[in-house]
Structure formats: C-alpha cells, structure tokens
C-alpha cells in the first residue's frame, strides 16, 4: 500500500543534513577514513555521493518527469562521480549538502502538486517506467540507507575491539 505523503517525505529530506552534521562534524580522522574494505566508501565519500545526487539525480530527474514524461529518458546519474572530484574538508561538504538540499526542497514544494503529479511517469535507464511518487519516496529512503551505511562503516572499525559483545551487535553481522 503506498503510504507516501509529500510533507512527510520532506521531513526526512530536511533532517538529513543536520543529522549528518551532528554525527560527523569534528570526528577524528580514524572515524572519517575508515572503510569496510577496498572499493567501499568512507563517511566523507558517502556525503560526496549525497551532494552529487542532489545536483544530478533527484531534482533533474523530477524536472524531466514533470516536463517531458516518458518522451525522453531520465537524465543519467553516475553513482561514482563524486570519487573523481577534488577533495575538500568534510565541514565544507556538510555545508554544501545543507545548502543544496534546502534549495532542492524549496524546488520540490514549488514544482510538485501531489494530486496532479504523483502518478506522472518517466523512463528510468534500468527500470523502465517510474512514477514521481516513487522518485520522491526513494529520495527519502536513499538518505536513510546512506546514513545507515555511515553507521555500519564506522562500527566496522571496532569489530575486533568489542570482543564477545559482537554477538549482540546486529550492525556487525556481514550480509
């Protein structure tokens, strides 16, 4: 059963930048540099991906769906683009994320009328037909999945240190 209400999805989108700031700003390098293994992302790289997604994924695709529907395919999104960008301090990235997220939420409020637009569609490069309501729901869950990833990446650092308690710590269960 579809559940999503625009204002509720925006509640998540509004909170993520502040939650990431509260969690990550000022952490020492050990926490910020740790990974789950080669080819996986550390916390600042996850933030970089969230920023890139604001620029080239969610809003441009929403605009395409509202403007062109399925006439044109949705603009492509490179999930690894952030890895080839110049490194910048985490605090700069967190501010950048907050700023663009704020602008994008304002744009969504401006552009989307749930009654009129939720069932409008676009052509996703992998999935075929997708709906505006699905894109907006995914945007919120994408925040949650990446915040959860950051917790998991940082927890990994103490895998050995927790000793026998690892049995009680679901986050250390490898999937």
Q: List residues near a copy of itself by CB under 8 A.
A: 1-5, 7-9, 11-12, 15-16, 18-19, 21-24, 26-28, 30-31, 124, 126-128, 130-131, 133-135, 137-138, 140-142, 144-145, 147-149, 151-152, 154-155, 157-158, 160-165, 167-173, 175
Q: Closest CB to a copy of itself among 68 and 119?
A: 119
Helices and strands counted in the chain (H then E): 7, 2
Smallest separation, CB 79 to a copy of itself (Å): 9
Distance from C-alpha of 59 to C-alpha of 108, rounded to nearest angstrom? 8
Q: Closest CB to a copy of itself among 37 and 163?
A: 163
H/E stretch holding 130 reads strand 128-131
Q: How many CB atoms lie within 10 A of CB 15?
A: 15
Q: How many CB atoms lie within 10 A of CB 63?
A: 15
Q: Closest CB to a copy of itself among 12 and 63?
A: 12
Smallest separation, CB 14 to a copy of itself (Å): 9
Q: Closest CB to a copy of itself among 53 and 104?
A: 53
* Residue among 51, 77, 48, 42 at smallest CA distance from 149: 42
């Amino acid at each position: 059963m579809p559940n999503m209400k625009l204002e509720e999805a925006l509640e998540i989108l509004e909170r993520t930048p502040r939650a990431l700031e509260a969690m990550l700003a000022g952490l020492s390098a050990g926490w910020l540099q740790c990974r789950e293994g080669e080819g996986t992302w550390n916390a600042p790289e996850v933030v970089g991906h969230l920023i890139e997604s604001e620029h080239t994924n969610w809003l441009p695709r929403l605009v395409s769906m509202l403007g062109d529907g399925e006439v044109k395919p949705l603009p492509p999104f490179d999930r690894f683009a952030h890895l080839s960008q110049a490194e910048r301090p985490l605090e700069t990235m967190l501010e950048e994320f907050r700023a663009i997220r704020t602008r994008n939420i304002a744009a969504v409020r401006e552009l989307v009328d749930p009654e009129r637009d939720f069932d409008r569609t676009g052509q996703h490069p992998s999935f075929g037909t997708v709906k505006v309501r699905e894109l907006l729901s995914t945007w919120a869950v994408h925040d949650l999945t990446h915040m959860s990833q950051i917790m998991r990446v940082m927890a990994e650092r103490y895998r050995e240190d927790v000793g026998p308690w690892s049995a009680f710590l679901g986050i250390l269960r490898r999937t």
